[in-house]
Amino acid sequence: MNSKYAVSALCLVSSVLLYRPAFGHGTETHGKAKHADVQMKKMHHMMPRFSAAAASLEAALAKEDLTAAEAEANKILSALPDLEKSKPHKNLKEGPRFVELAKKEKLAVATTMDIAKKGDFAAALAAFKKAEAVCAECHAKFRD
């Protein structure tokens, strides 16, 4: 097997495993009551797509496919303004930190793409690890 494809496959599998909690993020209830909040519903709808875009972005970077990477990065970047307007599941009093993490994610993804556009896909993959770390930090702090 070509090592380039092996790396791509490994990246895709690890991304799915890292973001696995987000795939189940659509139908659960919180505090025994469904949220009627419009932004929360948007967030529940967005997270599985956000996770899939992140996995696809990582795979595109591993394949050095700039066109696909840009398309996936744009999916993530277009979702972040809605995330900034959303309320977290827990630690509601720390809402400003939630917004700060969404902005940090936007910067990390934009930086990843700036690096990829220069043709340094190895460095872009390394930069994307920072974006993944922001996701993990946010989920650890603000998700059920």
Q: Is the entire prediction scored with pTM above 0.75?
A: no
Q: What's the pLDDT score for residue 2?
A: 53
Residues in the chain with pLDDT < 50?
A: 1, 6-7, 9-10, 12-14, 16-33, 35-36
Are 103 and 46 in contact by the 8 Å Cβ rule? The answer is no
Are 112 and 128 in contact by the 8 Å Cβ rule? The answer is yes
Of the options 3.30.1490, 3.30.499, 1.10.287, 1.20.120, the CATH number for the domain spanning 3-26+41-142: 1.20.120
* Domain limits, the chain: 3-26+41-142
Query: What token pair was written down for 86?
Result: 């959303």
